[in-house]
């Protein structure tokens, strides 16, 4: 890596909420950050769409780069910080160009790394520079450092977590208030927790990007977002929380990565006494399971200006101190490919199943017959009293089965005449870190 310098010159592309907070920290706390880094971290170049906006820091001494993709061409820069976002376009150009130009890169862009991580890590290796992305996963939780450094001596059997604060907030509020998904989503948008176009969050895509990176580091795999099985939270209804509670569970969007299997991001049922089930609101949490550590859990702010900027600053300090490791913990040539066949299956697991059915004789028999034909057995059954419109929830839990087998069964169940809505199914996960 590059030799230690007394001053590291930084270029920052993207001055949104987080990028501006990084700039404010670098310009107002330069002495303290320099002491931590062992050298001055001097912000000398910036790029953003709106040059005139007031972002709370003095830009008069900095070079303004009209085209962010050109920042890597500034010879004096040592580090390029990419805070624009997106898996393609200018963000990809900035990072590629900077690495090829022999400059360290710090980014919070989980989508970029989930889709192009292998290529970019290869460029970092070839040009002997760092590609650091602590801010890309779980904001204020040092999840990447924990995996790559603090727990580097472990053989991991599982990494899991709650990786999207927007979804966790929505599920927490639905459970507490009994309101419908659409109402709580609108509330989250009004509070600024959810975007106007919320698909990346509520469909599990943002969290799946993060899970891709955690799994790649934990198990020495090439990051492959396309291998991840993703199921968001749109299908969860208020009634599901009532039944889940009766059964002793709480509903959360949980990502699970295990060796030799494709990662899975799914809305799940967790035992009420497990630690992940107790993580509410906008918080994130990451569980690590391995040998010899056993199990350990980290909880903290997953997003926002402060949490994300904190992670960016930690990466800049690591560069200053020369603490630069391989992006995914080992050379790209040593990373394995993810087996994405039957990607919705991990180990066989019990499932929660809710059907909306016409309240008439023979319905239960028809449903259980389909399940039996797919070698799925029922463990428990809940059904409320009659409904004015004669359509009622039929809720059951199954014994352990594969996601593939259940998906096939649900296709057949949906065709039954008495079934009036698409079935909702959620895996029931075990409690592996005791509360």
Q: Which residues are known catalytic residues? A: 210
CA distance 264 to 161: 11
Could you give the C-alpha distances from 343 to 227, 234, 386, in angstroms and in order?
A: 7, 21, 39
* Six-digit token string for 101: 């130009």
- The C-alpha angle 213, 343, 241, rounded to 5 degrees, equals 85
The neighbouring-strand residues paired with 41 are: 8
Measured distance CA(68)–CA(49) in Å, rounded: 9
Residues in the chain: 435
* Residue found by looking up tokens 């509330």 in the block: 187
Task: Spell out a b/e string for 302-319, using b for 16 or more CB atoms within 10 Å of the CB, else e.
Answer: bbbbebbbbbbbbbbbbb
Name the nearest CA neighbour of 265 among 274, 278, 256.
Answer: 256
Closest to 216 in 3D by CA, of 370, 93, 334, 100: 334
**What crossing angle do the helices spanning 110-126 and 205-219 adopt, rounded to 10°?**
30
Cis amide bond preceding 292, omega within 30:
yes
Between strands 79-82 and 104-107, the pairing is parallel
Q: Strand, coil or helix: what is 302? A: coil
Q: What is the spatial distance between Cα 188 and Cα 180, in angstroms, rounded to a whole number?
A: 13
Task: Show the tokens assigned to 233.
Answer: 């939270």
Using DSSP bridges, classify how beta strands 63-64 and 40-47 pair: parallel, antiparallel or unpaired.
Answer: parallel
**Contact criterion met (CB below 8 Å) for 23 and 58:** no
Q: Which ranges of 282-362 would DSSP assign to H, the alpha helix?
A: 305-321
DSSP-derived 3-state class of residue 16: coil
Q: Which residues pair with 8 in a beta bridge?
A: 41
């Amino acid at each position: 890596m590059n030799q230690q310098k007394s001053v590291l010159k930084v270029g920052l592309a993207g001055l949104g909420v987080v990028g501006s907070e990084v700039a404010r920290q670098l310009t107002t706390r330069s002495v303290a950050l320099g002491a931590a880094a062992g050298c001055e971290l001097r912000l000398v170049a910036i790029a953003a769409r709106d040059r005139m906006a007031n972002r709370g820091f003095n830009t008069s001494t900095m070079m303004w780069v009209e085209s962010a993709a050109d920042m890597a061409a500034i010879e004096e820069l040592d580090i390029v910080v990419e805070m624009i976002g997106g898996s393609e376009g200018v963000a990809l150009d900035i990072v590629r160009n900077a690495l090829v130009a022999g400059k360290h890169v710090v980014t919070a862009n989980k989508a970029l790394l989930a889709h192009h991580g292998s290529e970019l890590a290869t460029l970092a290796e070839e040009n002997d520079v760092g590609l650091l992305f602590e801010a890309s996963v779980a904001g204020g939780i040092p999840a990447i450092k924990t995996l790559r450094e603090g727990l580097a001596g472990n053989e991991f059997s599982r990494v899991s977590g709650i990786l999207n604060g927007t979804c966790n907030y929505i599920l927490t509020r639905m459970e507490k208030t009994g309101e419908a998904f659409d109402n709580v989503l609108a509330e989250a948008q009004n509070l600024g927790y959810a975007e106007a176009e919320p698909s990346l969050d509520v469909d599990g895509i943002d969290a799946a990007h993060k899970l891709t990176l955690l799994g790649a580091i934990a198990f020495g795999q090439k990051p492959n977002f396309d291998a991840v099985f993703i199921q968001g939270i749109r299908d969860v209804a208020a009634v599901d929380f009532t039944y889940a509670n009766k059964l002793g569970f709480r509903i959360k969007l949980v990502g699970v990565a295990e060796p030799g299997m494709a990662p899975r991001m799914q809305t799940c049922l967790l035992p009420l006494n497990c630690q992940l089930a107790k993580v509410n609101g906008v918080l994130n949490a990451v569980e690590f399971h391995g040998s010899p550590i056993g199990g350990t859990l980290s909880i903290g702010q997953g997003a926002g200006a402060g949490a994300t900027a904190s992670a960016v600053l930690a990466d800049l300090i690591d560069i200053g101190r020369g603490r630069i490791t391989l992006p995914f913990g080992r050379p790209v040539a040593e990373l394995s490919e993810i087996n994405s066949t039957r990607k919705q299956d991990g180990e066989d697991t019990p499932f929660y199943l809710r059907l909306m059915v016409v309240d008439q004789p023979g319905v239960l028999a028809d449903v259980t017959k389909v399940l039996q034909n797919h070698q799925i057995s029922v463990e428990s059954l809940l059904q409320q009293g009659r409904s004015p419109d004669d359509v009622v929830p039929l809720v059951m839990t199954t014994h352990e089965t594969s996601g593939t087998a259940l998906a096939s069964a649900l296709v057949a169940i949906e065709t039954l005449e008495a079934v009036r809505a698409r079935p909702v199914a959620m895996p029931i996960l075990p409690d592996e870190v005791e509360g």
